[in-house]
Amino acid sequence: MARAFVFPGQGSQDVGMGRALAETFPAAREVFDEVDDALGQKLSAIMWDGPKETLTLTENAQPALMAVSMAVVRVLEREKGVKLAESAKFVAGHSLGEYSALAAAGAFSLADAARLLKLRGQAMQAAVPVGQGAMVALLGVGLDVAEKVAAEAAQGEVCQVANDNEPTQVVLSGAKSAIDRVAEVGKAHGVRRAVPLPVSAPFHCALMQPAADAMAEALANVTISVPVVPVVANVIASAVTDPNEIRRLLVEQVTGTVRWRECVGYLAGNGVTDVFELGSGKVLAGLAKRIEKSLEAMSLGTPEDIEAAAPKLA
Domain ranges of the chain: 3-127+207-313, 133-199
CATH code given to domain 3-127+207-313: 3.40.366.10
pLDDT at residue 96, rounded to an integer: 96
> What is the average pLDDT across 153-180?
98
Average pLDDT, rounded, for the chain: 97
Kindly report the CATH class assigned to 133-199.
alpha beta
Instruction: Tell me the pLDDT tens digit for each residue of 232-268.
Output: 999 999 999 999 999 999 999 999 999 999 999 999 9
Stretch 61-67: mean pLDDT:
97
For residue 226, how many C-alpha atoms fall within 13 Å in the half-sphere facing its CB?
3
pLDDT above 90 coverage of the chain, percent: 96
Q: What is the band of 41 on the pLDDT scale with cuts at 50, 70, 90?
A: very high
What Rg, from alpha-carbon coordinates, does the chain have?
18
Residue 157 has pLDDT above 90, yes or no: yes
Q: Would you say the CATH fold of 133-199 matches that of 3-127+207-313?
A: no
pLDDT at 314 over 90: no
Per-residue pLDDT at 12: 85
Give catalytic residue positions.
Answer: 95, 204
Q: In 17-46, which positions are buried (b, 16+ CB within 10 angstroms) versus exposed (e)?
A: bbbbbbebbebbbbbbebbbebbeeebbeb
pLDDT(1) > 90: no
Global pTM reads 0.97
Average pLDDT over residues 288-298: 96
Residues 107 and 244: their CA atoms lie apart, in Å, by 11
| β partners of residue 312 | none
Mean pLDDT of 89-109: 98
Residue 98 pLDDT level (bands cut at 50, 70, 90): very high
Q: How confident is the model at residue 11 (pLDDT cuts 50, 70, 90)?
A: confident
